[in-house]
Amino acid sequence: MDKFNILIVDDVPENIYSLKMMIEDSFDVRIYSALNAQEGIEILMKENIDLILTDVQMPDIDGFEFVDYIKNIERTKDIPVIFITGIYDKDEYKTKGYNLGAVEYITKPIHDVLLNSKLKVYIDIFERRKEDEKQIAEKEKVLIHQSKMATMGEMIGVIAHQLKQPLNILSLYCNDVKTSYEYNEIDDKFIDDFSKNTKEQIKFLSETIDDFRNFFNPEKNKVQFEIKDAINTSIKLLGNQFEVNEIKLNIEVSDEKVYGSETELEQVILNIINNSIDAFKEKGIKNREINIKVLSKQSYTILIMEDNAGGVKIETLEKLFDPYYTTKANGTGTGLYMVKLVIKNSFQGDLKLSNSELGLRYIIALPQNKF
């Protein structure tokens, strides 16, 4: 389990040393130290600090100014702060400390029993939170697996069709060999054409198998890739589903880059498209369309996916990303939840869902560079 991280800020090295010894005698924690507020701020920007112990009287920036500053920064505003002082012990200073957001105000001399009792509260909270996060992560892992299994079930028919087509062509080639032999039509050109066409179908089979294998066993290694490759692979995996379901696909993509797992993004795109296909079927929509567009904004690539399947009720909109929530008669409620987890946790991106004029619109912001 991760260690509890404490930052001690004091301009007197001896004070830091004695505090550190006192804490380490009772707790297995990681302690960072700073001799002034500026050093403390630099550490806070780099490390994940769980608790701050700070002196009040320090040169340049005192403890009150230090805490006032970090409480106005998003990254550090929620870190608990304990003031420790030997001079500013009047009630007016204690009140000022609490008003700045401190959770405790301890005056010197420090009693180790008192300090340890205060620290134990926050360390216990930290450990319980980490345990809760671990349990949530395990549940999310199960839900993602369920979503993949559901997607696999939906893809079986597509896989069969993708493989059956080249196999039928190869069967025709074999019959053609027999017929041509009987009519004495086999010459060098026939052999060359047969070899070329057969190799093309075998190559198509091999690529199809690789595509599906990669989809169901995605590489978790994160790299920078072109988003159009993930879009094209997802469409290829769906085979003739657009033709069978009479869906017009409009794509407007560019060479924008994305940092993350390409196959995980393919799963996201596939889940969204399948969700639209299901909505078309259930609502009996005519003139079906799915629009895919890619934009670039600052250091993010924006993927916009939109259908004309009628959208959903406002009260349903936010629930679509909840685990096990579904509007489908035979749905599992894991597909869009998996989409949210992958975008937010794996890509460190953002996902917004809204009703457009004719259907649902997904706006996905993905970082272009390593985060």
Query: For the domain with range 143-216, which CATH number is right: 3.30.43, 1.10.287, 1.10.3470, 1.10.10?
Result: 1.10.287
State residue 87's pLDDT score. 79
State residue 331's pLDDT score. 45
Which CATH code is given to the segment(s) 223-367?
A: 3.30.565.10
pLDDT per position as a tens digit, 60-109: 899 999 999 999 999 999 899 999 887 777 888 889 988 998 888 988 88
State residue 158's pLDDT score. 60
State residue 332's pLDDT score. 42
Average pLDDT of the segment spanning 3-25? 92
pLDDT per position as a tens digit, 226-271: 999 999 988 887 877 898 899 999 999 989 999 998 888 988 898 8
Three-class DSSP category at 187? coil
State residue 136's pLDDT score. 73
**CB burial class (10 A; 0-12, 13-18, 19+) of residue 217?**
exposed
Cβ–Cβ < 8 Å for 151, 271: yes
| pLDDT value at 40 more than 80 | yes
Higher pLDDT, 340 or 253: 253
State residue 341's pLDDT score. 80
Element (H, E) at 275: helix 262-283
Q: What are phi and psi of 34, to 5 degrees?
A: -140, 140
| pLDDT value at 362 more than 70 | yes
Q: Which residues contact 289 (CB under 8 A, 6 or more apart)?
A: 247, 248, 249, 250, 307, 308
Three-class DSSP category at 302? strand
Model confidence, pTM: 0.52
What is the torsional sign of CA 48, 54, 58, 64?
Answer: positive
Three-class DSSP category at 9? strand
State residue 41's pLDDT score. 95
Hunting for tokens 């924690």 — which residue is that?
29
Can you give the residue ranges of every domain in the chain?
5-110, 143-216, 223-367
Average pLDDT of the segment spanning 340-367? 91
State the DSSP code for 321. G
State residue 205's pLDDT score. 82
Cβ–Cβ < 8 Å for 79, 53: no
Which CATH code is given to the segment(s) 5-110?
A: 3.40.50.2300
Cβ–Cβ < 8 Å for 263, 218: yes
Round the average pLDDT of the chain to a whole number and report it. Answer: 85
| pLDDT value at 157 more than 70 | no
Average pLDDT of the segment spanning 52-60? 91
What b/e string do you get for 180-191 counting C-beta neighbours within 10 Å, with b at 16 or more?
Answer: eeeeeeeeeeee
Q: Is the peptide bond before 109 cis (omega within 30 degrees of 0)?
A: yes
pLDDT per position as a tens digit, 171-226: 888 888 888 888 888 899 989 988 988 898 888 788 777 766 766 665 567 899 99
